[in-house]
Amino acid sequence: MPTAALPPARQGIQSIEVAAPLLRVLADSSGALPLSALAKAAGMPAAKAHRYLVSLIRVGLVQQDAHSAEYDLGALALELGLASLGRIDAMQLADAAMSSLRDATGETVALAVWGNLGPTYVRLLQSRRPVTVNLQIGSVMPMTYTASGLCFATWLPEQDSASLLKLELTSNRRQKLAAPHTLTALRPLLNETAEHGLARMIGHLDPAAARPPGSSRAAELLLAGFNAFSAPVFDNDGRIRFALTVVGSSAHIRQAWDGAIAMETKRHATALSRRLGYR
């Protein structure tokens, strides 16, 4: 059977493709760069980089400081960036990231935003496995004992979450939940989440085994037999926009921070953050 012919490659302007790495280096840099450092990072000789930079300056994509002679992004680059941000459909990008994450993990993927009552699920893609996770769109997730909630408790500005977090901790004490009752007790979980760049919640098939005497099983029953990882998604202002979460049976999701599903969750959240303009 004859092999199908590959579609012909579309012709482009090579000079633009050669200059693009210079713009990428400047975009990823925290500030202006001298010619030598810029050329090295872009992988080209300084003399060649200089010629391309002259043209990029002429069209406004790059500017050069008259005193230091260092290069930085120019006015046109700023205009293009602002125009691009104004056209972003965050939910559309999030939907694509969720589909990709479910394909990569085979598990249930959920997306939470910060709502009036706390972390709220607005998107949900169920696993194709026979085991179904009991989650619903519109569900408000506790901040003290769910992965999605911990994401917001860790990265949301304290003034935005303090009042709801205080109410939840009080409720935990009143109901005697096997969950943090005070901010002091919650702090190690927040520190661990910040350290790893994503939140983790481990369910137990036998919640009563680790339950303090006299405490309620409600929190543990919510998690029993399921593990979850949730990673923050940031916008161009550096604020947490979403919590991207993978949850599934503990038989399929390893507890390790560097497990495949944990890393896929973090990778997809990082990629989505970049699409939303976060640097």
Q: Across residues 143-161, what is the average pLDDT?
A: 93
Residue 163, judged by CB atoms within 10 A of its CB (0-12, 13-18, 19+), counts as exposed
Min mean pLDDT across 40-44, 65-69, 77-81, 153-157 is at: 77-81
**Among the ranges 87-91, 115-119, 216-220, 223-227, which has the highest mean pLDDT value?**
115-119
Which tokens in the block code for residue 33?
A: 């760069």
- Are 268 and 102 in contact by the 8 Å Cβ rule? The answer is no
Higher-confidence residue of 38 and 279: namely 38
Per-residue confidence (pLDDT) for residue 132, from 0 to 100: 64
- Name the token pair of 125: 């893609």
| The token pair that represents 117 in the structure block | 């009552």
pLDDT value of position 109: 95
DSSP assignment of 210-262, as one string? Answer: GPPTT-BSHHHHHHTTEEEEEEEEE-TTS-EEEEEEEEEETTTS---TTSHHH
**265 pLDDT tier (thresholds 50, 70, 90):** very high
Residues 6+ apart with CB under 8 A from 95: 123
* Predicted local confidence at residue 155, as pLDDT: 97
Lowest mean pLDDT among 210-214, 228-232, 254-258: 210-214
- Please provide residue 216's backbone torsions phi and psi, each rounded to the nearest 5 degrees: -80, 150
All domains of the chain, ordered by start, with CATH? 14-85 (1.10.10.10), 89-275 (3.30.450.40)
Q: What is the pLDDT of residue 83?
A: 74
Mean pLDDT of the 188-195 span: 94
- Determine the average pLDDT of the residues in 36-49: 93
> Does residue 248 surpass a pLDDT of 50?
yes
Flag whether pLDDT at 216 surpasses 70: no
Percent helix, strand, coil in the chain (nearest 5)? 45, 20, 35
* Tens of pLDDT, residues 57-104: 999 999 999 999 999 998 888 888 777 666 667 888 999 999 999 999
CA 255/CA 276 separation, integer angstroms: 29
Higher pLDDT, 217 or 99: 99
Q: Say if pTM beats, i.e. exceeds, 0.85.
A: no
Residue 72's pLDDT is 93
**Which range among 19-33, 84-98, 148-162, 200-214 shows the weakest confidence by mean pLDDT?**
200-214
